[in-house]
Structure 1
Amino acid sequence: MILGCIADDFTGATDLANTLTRRGMHTVQTIGMPKGAAPDADAVVVALKSRTIPAAEAVAQSLAACRWLRANGAKQIFFKYCSTFDSTDDGNIGPVADALLDELGADFTIACPAFPENGRTIYLGHLFVGGDLLSDSSMKNHPLTPMRDANLVRVLGRQTPHRVGLVPYKAVKQGAPAIAEAYSALKAQGIRHAIVDAVEDKDLENIGAASSALPLITGGSGVAIGLPQNYRTARLIPKREGASALHGVGGPGIVLSGSCSAATLGQVERFAAKHAARAIDPLALAREPEKTVAALLAWAGETLTSGPALIYASAPPDKVAAVQAQFGREKAGEMIEHAIAALAKGLAEKGVRRFVIAGGETSGAVVSALNVEALEIGPQIAPGVPACLSYGSARYALALKSGNFGGPDFFAEALEALS
């Protein structure tokens, strides 16, 4: 192992594994803390569900992952979070980054969630989603981590007691040497965290080159674009092509969606117009959870004999707010996650092996229910979303999609890619 990665949710982990695999690194993703010996891979991505848990728990889990990765040879650590910097003023990005720096005996790191291929760019420290500031995007209404400040220097500054600086685009566009000089200047000022501007992939390649000596890198999957070339230059990995095709598993395919992002809502609408679809009724679920899940399983069992199907809890912000007001935010989320996990387990018992999952929390619930311990990374389906195949005796073809990723027809495209 060369690169050890810690991701704060499951879809973010596959996003990062996808980037590294496409750039020629043999990458394995583990679901939660690895069990047993380390996989034979250039990079291992440990997928945690730590994005929205209490900061102290996120720190403890991330440190455990870091220690395991280093004990198994990792020469550099990467902390992966969402390209929309999903967090609250209490964390968890700042607390985890600080704890990892302390663990590694380091005094400086970068924070760069830019992902231009999916419309996430940073200019003068401000994060844009497409042409909108983060604070003007649909993320301002996220049910768990509403992002209402686009200035990442300010956002991260509220999460850490240490100073946060900026590497502006003026330095980034001059290339790797200028970026490295900016790092040194910020360190000399006592700055521990640096937001780094990036508006295109070339910027990310240069940031990666400038960061070759950093013990810890933090960011979205985009900033990992430049890392494999560092390892090739150091003769740590050979030149390789991207991902190989995965073995097919066959059988019926199901889409399970818990994300309430604007992109996913559009995907649900598009898929439901052409295929069988059934919404999860939160009121019925609260009254009779087992009966509600059993009814959905019975419906799916009949429907999947004639084609793919969709079961979804995705809903517009006003409906989500109404459910949260009635049951509480955490209970409402847990209720849906438990239901989708039970559905996945029940469907697997019926022989379903192809799953398309929308939403980070939902993906975590599903792979845990299926007892998936690690994933083989295959070809990209959409930017940030690869086809995956689980290791183990029961092999599942999976597409784990972050809420905002993928085009309008992603669900159908993913099921086709997993066939």
Structure 2
Amino acid sequence: MAETDKLLLAFYGDDFTGSTDALEFMTRAGARTVLFLKPPSAEDLEKFGKLDALGIAGLTRSMEPAKMKETLEEAFQKISELNPRYVHYKVCSTFDSSPEIGNIGVAMECGLKHFKNDFIPVLVAAPNLGRYMAFGNLFAQMGIGSKGEIFRLDKHPSMAQHPVTPSKEGDLRDHLALQSPLKSGLVDLLDLKLPFEEIQEKLRKLIDDHQVIFFDGVYEEQMKIIGRILDESADQDKPLFSVGSSGIGKALGDHWQEEKILTETLEWKELEEVKPLLVLSGSVSPVTASQIEFALEHGFREVEIAPEFLYEQEPDVSVYSDKILGLLNEGNSVILHTSKGPEDPRLKKTRAITEELGWDSQRSRMELPRYFGGFLGKIIRQVLTGKSLQRLVIAGGDTSSYAARELGINAVEMIAPLVKGAPLCRAYAENSPVDGMEINLKGGQVGAPSYFVELQNGRLNDN
């Protein structure tokens, strides 16, 4: 718990799984943090007592620019009323975005307009997650928490083929230039080796003609340096608005621990074996596909969502919920999924259906996460009405936000680390069967092939 009454940081996540990633790194750093699914009211905050930080899990990663702007203007106003020292617009550590969907440039423009800072610091690097930035280029490991190969973003087997926001540029300055006219500069790896005063001088010069400043980051020790830069860039009279991955929380947290503002959390709930385990996956990542295959080889059962439900105004969830309940009642752990990787024939069928419905590519990219996430959530809510379970896993960044809302989740709080970037949380969901359950939300890129099996067996606790 921080030794200050002021809210240290408020973050707004562009999806749910990414928001739990930010929740984890603030909690690990020693800040009591709760993640809400909408801006909290005074009554909401009163329920949780003193908080050091809070997050809001948004949906902007799957929104078009006009809707993003409307949503963020309202959210940033409500965050301002909380008077935090820092405001962080949390994006995926692979900078998932495009001019048409999840436009990060739009978020930056809204942040500049609302918070009126001299510049926006942008830190996407998160070495502890296998995300590295060198001379403006982002590199990502295949599978967070694994020992996968590292690729530049535009060469990454998963991100270069992402169904909604495929990565076409490795240099994030070029990637951002496709989304916004804001000028971006860079504090690079060589700059970070300079004495601190010289780094600050370089930053001051960049701010003269750049509104956005990216920071490289390859090594853990550089995060503390960047945290100090962020901390000393803050104005006492207004919050500092930043954009980036959970590297922002990691950098600030490392610095605040050194300054004795926070004390690192070292003791956690022991992770127990839980069987049966229920997994719902809206991910098309090859990483998640390998986890599904591994789980099936080790006793899990699967239920596949057929995309034909898109034709129906009110699709029947009982077809799936009854099957899942039958498998659970036999003692089986179950995975409900929409895809097993980018080669799954259901993806081709989904494209054919959306064309038949008259959806263009932009509408498909925007609507499909909502349709699939909402349908997954309805099925699982029906299942949980018929059977109580201890632990639930939701995989897939684009669909998770919609599934969580359909399940009635209002907020989550971290209770134990698993793989970095995907903590075990407790769900707060008034009048919903998911209330009080252990919930794990993982992005498509998170985890080794054994992820679901180890989460069932209680072997992932990463102290």
Question: Corresponding residue for 2:107?
Answer: 96
Question: Corresponding residue for 1:193?
Answer: 212
Question: Corresponding residue for 1:5?
Answer: 11
Q: 1:250, CA displacement in angstroms? A: 7.1
Q: Secondary structure at the match of 1:211?
A: helix
Q: How does 1:374-393 map to 2 (within 5 A)?
A: 374-392=411-429
The separation in 2 between residues aligned to 1:411 and 1:10, in whole angstroms, is 19
Identical pairs, percent: 26
The separation in 1 between residues aligned to 2:429 and 2:305, in whole angstroms, is 30
Which letter maps to 1:352? L
The separation in 2 between residues aligned to 1:115 and 1:229, in whole angstroms, is 13
Return closer, same or farther for 1:243/1:67 CA change in 2, 3 Å cut-off: farther
Q: 1:87, CA displacement in angstroms? A: 0.4
Matched, 1:143 2:167: no
Which of 219, 222, 230 is the equivalent residue of 1:211? 230
Which letter maps to 1:61? T
Matched, 1:77 2:87: yes
1:79-130 deviation line (CA, Å, top 9, x unaligned):
1100100000345211111211221111201222112223211111011123
Which letter maps to 1:75? R
Q: Secondary structure at the match of 1:51?
A: helix
- Contact 1:209/1:230 (8 A) holds in 2: yes
Question: Corresponding residue for 2:173?
Answer: 153
Matched, 1:276 2:282: no
The separation in 2 between residues aligned to 1:225 and 1:77, in whole angstroms, is 14
Return closer, same or farther for 1:382/1:314 CA change in 2, 3 Å cut-off: same
The separation in 1 between residues aligned to 2:181 and 2:75, in whole angstroms, is 23
The separation in 1 between residues aligned to 2:398 and 2:247, in whole angstroms, is 21
Matched, 1:163 2:183: yes
Q: 1:240, CA displacement in angstroms? A: 4.3
Which of 103, 110, 114 is the equivalent residue of 2:125? 114
Question: Corresponding residue for 1:258?
Answer: 282
1:205-224 deviation line (CA, Å, top 9, x unaligned):
21111111241121100232
- Contact 1:363/1:400 (8 A) holds in 2: yes
Matched, 1:414 2:438: no
The separation in 2 between residues aligned to 1:23 and 1:54, in whole angstroms, is 34
The separation in 2 between residues aligned to 1:268 and 1:280, in whole angstroms, is 14
The separation in 2 between residues aligned to 1:335 and 1:109, in whole angstroms, is 34
1:251-282 deviation line (CA, Å, top 9, x unaligned):
74300001001211111111122211121121
- Contact 1:59/1:99 (8 A) holds in 2: yes
The separation in 2 between residues aligned to 1:128 and 1:238, in whole angstroms, is 30
Q: Secondary structure at the match of 1:187?
A: helix
Question: Corresponding residue for 1:317?
Answer: 342
Q: Secondary structure at the match of 2:10?
A: strand
Segment drifting more, 340-349 vs 89-98: 89-98
Matched, 1:302 2:347: no
Which letter maps to 1:68? K
- Contact 2:273/2:457 (8 A) holds in 1: no
The separation in 2 between residues aligned to 1:60 and 1:244, in whole angstroms, is 39
Q: 1:234, CA displacement in angstroms? A: 6.3
Which letter maps to 1:383? K
Q: 1:397, CA displacement in angstroms? A: 1.1
Q: Across the two proteins, how many residue pairs are aligned to each other?
A: 416
Matched, 1:221 2:217: no
Matched, 1:126 2:137: yes
Matched, 1:336 2:399: no
* Aligned alpha-carbon RMSD (Å): 2.5
Return closer, same or farther for 1:105/1:402 CA change in 2, 3 Å cut-off: same
Return closer, same or farther for 1:289/1:403 CA change in 2, 3 Å cut-off: farther
The separation in 2 between residues aligned to 1:373 and 1:83, in whole angstroms, is 24
- Contact 1:22/1:243 (8 A) holds in 2: no
| Runs of at least 5 residues in structure 1 that lack an aligned partner in the other structure | none
The separation in 2 between residues aligned to 1:247 and 1:262, in whole angstroms, is 27
The separation in 2 between residues aligned to 1:59 and 1:233, in whole angstroms, is 37
Which of 74, 77, 91 is the equivalent residue of 1:67? 77
Segment drifting more, 146-155 vs 319-328: 319-328
Q: Secondary structure at the match of 1:128?
A: strand
Which letter maps to 1:339? F
Q: 1:164, CA displacement in angstroms? A: 1.0
The separation in 1 between residues aligned to 2:68 and 2:121, in whole angstroms, is 19
Segment drifting more, 253-262 vs 113-122: 113-122
Question: Corresponding residue for 1:360?
Answer: 397
Q: Secondary structure at the match of 1:111?
A: strand
- Contact 2:12/2:55 (8 A) holds in 1: yes
Return closer, same or farther for 1:266/1:139 CA change in 2, 3 Å cut-off: same
Q: 1:71, CA displacement in angstroms? A: 1.3
Which of 412, 437, 441 is the equivalent residue of 1:396? 437
- Contact 1:356/1:415 (8 A) holds in 2: no
Per the normalisation by structure 1, the TM-score is 0.92
Q: Secondary structure at the match of 1:110?
A: strand
